[in-house]
Structure 1
Amino acid sequence: MFFLSDMLNKKLEMPKPGDALPGRDKPIPTATKHFVSRRALAGPYPDGLELAYFGMGCFWGAERLFWQTPGVWVTAVGYAGGFTPNPTYQETCTGLTGHAEIVLVVFDPTQVSYAELLKIFWESHDPTQGMRQGNDVGTTYRSAIYTTSEAQMEAALSSRDAYQAELKRAGGGRITTEIASAPRFYFAEAEHQQYLGKNPAGYCGLKGTGVSCPLPGVVAE
């Protein structure tokens, strides 16, 4: 007999590669331009810009947070960290693709440092919740940082340790954020791109811990 708890338990565990949905060979259709800035969503991006990837639960509110940050050139939402090629939103929601909802942040390091983006990341969600973020439950809502250079990896790990110390002092839990080199990023469907720009009163599940992150030892690039 099938129980709802069985599906929930599956969504809280990463699928094995052989159990993941097959996906497709071609990318799913998405927007070409950022709804707010009108800049090219998938590039080409100007020389000197860097890419960062953050998972903070539902990507709608997380993307707005970053596109409103001075120094950020463009943002996009998509899926990364799983096994299914070119997944759809509906497929990721089953938990059978292994992907997390991710925000791509293209930024100018002369205007905003990666360290500053990390501070926004840590303080704007709860990185201790495992495979969920608030009422959003499942592997797709896990906390994640995917890095694009050794410097980003070092900064991400250093910031995690610094924030863990602050959380411990405040009586908080253990950080469960996945930190890894950036895997392939799949752009989400057009309706999800800049969702809160199109629907200002739409759902935003962001909720931080209330603990600030000083990022000691992180050097701005």
Structure 2
Amino acid sequence: MIFGRTPVLPTPDQALRGRPEPAFAVPERHTVLGNPLLGPYPAGLAVADFGLGCFWGAERKFWETDGVWTTLVGYQGGHTPNPTYEEVCSGRTGHTEAVRVVYDPARISYEQLLKVFWEAHNPTQGFRQGNDVGTQYRSAIYPHTPEQGAAAESSRTAYQQVLTGSGHGNITTEILPADDRPFYPAEPYHQQYLDKNPAGYCGIGGTGVSCPIGVAPAEG
């Protein structure tokens, strides 16, 4: 965002070129959960990707959730391969700040993760989350399976109904297959940032409206 101009997503032709390999290495283990950040992950675990504003606070929401095995933050939904934080913040990569959540479906369902997602931010704000403005703060879900996609779409419909009844606007969350939207891990200092900096900035906040999905116990 420059001088109040409305943020606009770049086209693939307009996006920064990026690089064929990451510009940095990712830490081996989660500072809170102790598990590896990168895959391959143990058999039986599943992966979910969400964008809900500043990824520092968003990641903490999920690592504090029972049944989550590991989390890491990164950039997703854009065009530039292996972007840096500065490039993403320029608005010229098309990415949003995202959280990858690796979870145990025997302990927590994808629907329960969707409930955390919807209630942890305001999904009606477009290219913004609170005071954070830019295309990198947009709300997004990137499903890894058709089942996740169907659950995400259904949850969006259900939450829209209760948001409308509470006087809120239309949900702007994009739902696009993760296969078409690669996840690029962010720099080491961003990983578990609020564990390393407990008094650090957390720019996410929900609407205060409960999401009516994800309340059934996980299948086991």
SS in 1 for 2:3: helix
Match of 1:46 in 2: 42
Aligned match of 2:130: 134
Instruction: Please say if 1:206 is aligned against 2:201.
Output: no
CA drift at 1:220: 5.5
Q: Deviations over 1:135-161 (max 9, x none)?
A: 110100000000000110000000000
Give the counterpart letter for 1:108 in structure 2.
D
Which blocks of at least 5 consecutive residues in structure 2 are unaligned? none
The counterpart of 2:13, out of the listed 2, 12, 18, is 18
The equivalent position to 1:187 in structure 2, one of 164, 180, 185, is 185
TM-score normalised according to structure 1 size? 0.93
Aligned alpha-carbon RMSD (Å): 1.8
What is aligned with 1:66?
A: 62
Q: Identity of counterpart residues, as a percentage?
A: 59
Structure 1 unaligned blocks of 5 or more: none
User: Which one of 133, 142, 148 corresponds to residue 146 of structure 1?
Assistant: 142
Listed as ranges, the matches of 1:50-129 within 5 Å are 50-129=46-125
Instruction: Tell me by how many angstroms 1:198 deviates.
Output: 0.3
Normalised by the length of structure 2, the TM-score is 0.94
Provide the rounded CA distance (Å) in 2 between the counterparts of 1:58 and 1:152. 23
Amino acid at match of 1:80: Q
What CA distance in whole angstroms lies between the structure 1 residues aligned with 2:76 and 2:45? 21
Partner AA of 2:144 in structure 1: T
Matched residues, number = 216
Q: What secondary structure is seen at the aligned counterpart in 1 of 2:206? A: coil
* Alignment-derived partner of residue 165 in structure 1: 161
